[in-house]
Structure formats: C-alpha cells, structure tokens
C-alpha cells in the first residue's frame, strides 16, 4: 500500500476547503440526490461525495456505507485529488497502491473505484471527489466516466451555490470542525438536540426582526412496538430512513435535528403558519406513502407532527418547542399520522 501523494497546491487547497464551511455538517438532500443517481447510473453499490481534509477524508454524502470518515492515509480519494480528471482503479487487489489497504483487505472490501475530482475556487483546487465503489473488479466504460464527470459538475454547482443560511453561517463560523462533529447525531447524521436548539434560538433572533419562523415536532408512531417486535437494530434503520425522508421533504434553507429518541425537530425558515402546515403534510406523506425497506422486511411507518409558528410576542425557543409538543399530542390523540398546528 502506498499513501496518497500531497498535491502541489495543498495549502491553497485546504484553505479553499475550509472556506466552504461544509466540513462536519449534516448530510443534505441536494447531495444525497446526486450520490443516489451515481449508484444507479454506474450500477455501483457505493457512492460518495468525499472531501479530503489535512489528515482525514469526510463524506458529505454516502450511499451504501455507514462510515462517515476515514484516515487520509488510506483514502482512495486522497490519490484521486492528485490527478486532473477521472481516477480509475479496476482491481484494487492487483494495484500496489491499494492491495494492502485496510478498506480492501477488510470491509467494505473495495475492488473497483472510479472518481472525478470536485474543484472549487478560481484556482480550481481539488477539494474532494465524487466517487463510486464496487466490491467486484470491473471495467468502467466511457459512458460511466462521462456520467461521473457530469455528476461531479453538479456537485460543484451545489457547493458553489452555497446554501449557507445566515444562522448556519453564524454557527459554523463560531465552531471549529471538531466542535461541529460533536453537534451531529451519530445515528441519523442530523444536528443533535443541542445544535438544533442553538439554530432555533438564532432563527428566533431573525424572527424578531420580522421574518416568520415555524417549528415542527415529528414523532414516529408506535415506535416502541418496532423495537419490541423487530429489535433495536431495525429500529435504528427506521430512524435513519425517517431522517432521510424528512431531509428530502424540506427546503435547502430549512434545518432538521434529532430532538431525542424517535422525535425530530424541523426549523422552517421564513415560513408562516399556513405554509408550515403544507410543509408538515409534505413530510408526513413522504414518510407514509411507501414502506420502509429494512432487514426485517418492508415496514409501514407513519409519524405525527405538531407545528407552532413564532407569534408577535417574543417567544423563547423552549416555549415554542413546548407549543409544538402540545400540538404533537393533539395529533396523536386524534388518531396519529396527522399534522396539527397551534
């Protein structure tokens, strides 16, 4: 095994990566959508948006793998960013750079790898890759390479679009990358309770200047019975899928965190009561409309949602959450799988 070479523009590359303010932040649907397309178009079980920091690589989006970070020393993407254009490995076991790599010898047992660099800034610094991984040796066709290049360009567009709201920017500017990692729920990869409450307080600061904000409390219906019947690992699968479907149903400017257990808190920026109810229905239906695929088989899952909107009087975050909780209990009392507002 050979460690990745250091790019000639390493200092500038790391500065460009840091300026994005993206390391250590939760997954976003806009990137997950791209990695899902990559697995389908290139018929690969694993696809990643990988960002290569000074000593590790971190996955902004990951399909087919639970790991979110690895050492840079063993990263395939560390090699890929040293190349201008596609980087292809058809059989890692036959390549001296990778044959002894822990990710080849052990899980996920990488055999084939294809990546295209993600470039940012005026200097076109290669901060990471869009890559696909297969567990069998394979050749990648010219169409595969074209699809990978096009999808990487979409990743670059999304990064440059930079959906950093004012409150996210404030939060990320104040916190170092290590602190950001401590703000992520390890199971769902959403903001944890402390982080989402911090974001709520900042949103309310904007609301007091005239910008409406609504908050939704989402609770999985009959979740205890899932754990009791199928076990906690399946319950964890359900929670991860709920998190993914919530992310897919909200706007880029909205935020979601795991509030505790099977409860999630959604912050709907610049959203009054009327549109908050529409957003709540969209989340509810996105979760309920198709069964969840789990190791125990398909499961029908529903959620109840309580929504509260910031009123004309100053309201602290915990009071707004308490109002959401009351609406949530009303939704459960009225039959579950519904949205109630206060």
Q: Which residue numbers are catalytic?
A: 262
Helix (H, G, I), strand (E, B) or coil at 318: helix
Q: Can you state the angle between helices 29-41 and 142-161, rounded to 10 degrees?
A: 180
Q: Up-side HSE of residue 272: CA atoms within 13 Å toward CB?
A: 4
Closest CA to 164 of 56, 342, 48, 28: 28
Burial class (CB in 10 A: 0-12, 13-18, 19+), 154: middle
- Long-range (24+ apart) CB contacts under 8 A made by 295-299 are 295/233, 295/234, 295/237, 296/230, 296/231, 296/234, 299/226, 299/230, 299/234, 299/238
Calpha distance 180→170 (Å, rounded): 12
Phi/psi at 126 (5° precision) = -85, 100
Residue corresponding to tokens 């087919």? 64
Task: Beginning with the edge strand found earlier in the chain, give each strand of the sheet holding 339-341 in spatial order.
Answer: 255-260, 263-269, 213-220, 303-309, 339-341
- Cβ proximity of 250 and 278 under 8 Å: no
Q: How far is CA 71 from the centre of its chain?
A: 20
């Amino acid at each position: 095994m050979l460690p990745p070479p250091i790019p000639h523009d390493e200092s500038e590359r790391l500065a460009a990566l840091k300026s994005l303010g993206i390391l250590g932040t939760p997954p976003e649907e806009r990137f997950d959508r791209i990695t899902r397309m990559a697995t389908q178009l290139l018929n690969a079980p694993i696809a990643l948006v990988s960002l290569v920091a000074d000593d590790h690589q971190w996955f902004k989006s990951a399909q087919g793998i639970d790991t979110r970070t690895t050492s840079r020393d063993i990263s395939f993407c560390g090699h890929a960013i040293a190349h201008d254009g596609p980087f292809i490995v058809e059989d890692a076991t036959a390549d001296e750079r990778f044959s002894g790599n822990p990710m080849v010898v052990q899980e996920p047992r990488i055999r084939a790898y294809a990546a295209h660099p993600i470039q940012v800034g005026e200097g076109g610094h290669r901060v990471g890759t869009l890559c696909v991984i297969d567990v069998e040796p394979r050749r990648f066709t010219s169409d595969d390479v074209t699809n990978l290049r096009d999808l990487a360009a979409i990743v670059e567009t999304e990064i440059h679009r930079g959906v950093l709201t004012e409150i996210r920017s404030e939060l990320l500017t104040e916190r170092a990358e290590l602190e950001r990692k401590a703000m992520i729920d390890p199971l769902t990869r959403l903001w944890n309770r402390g982080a989402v409450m911090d974001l709520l307080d900042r949103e309310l600061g904007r609301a007091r200047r005239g910008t409406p904000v609504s908050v939704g409390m989402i609770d999985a219906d009959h979740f205890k019975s899932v754990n009791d019947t199928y076990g906690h690992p399946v319950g964890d699968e359900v929670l991860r899928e709920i998190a993914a479907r919530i992310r897919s149903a909200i706007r880029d400017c909205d935020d979601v965190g795991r509030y505790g257990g099977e409860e999630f808190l959604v912050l709907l920026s610049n959203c009054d009561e009327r549109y908050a109810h529409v957003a709540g229905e969209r989340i509810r239906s996105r979760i309920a409309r198709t069964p969840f695929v789990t190791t125990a088989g398909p499961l029908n899952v529903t959620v109840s949602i309580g929504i509260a909107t910031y009123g004309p009087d100053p309201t602290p975050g915990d009071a707004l959450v308490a109002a959401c909780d009351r609406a949530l209990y009303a939704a459960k009392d009225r039959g579950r799988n519904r949205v109630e507002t206060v």
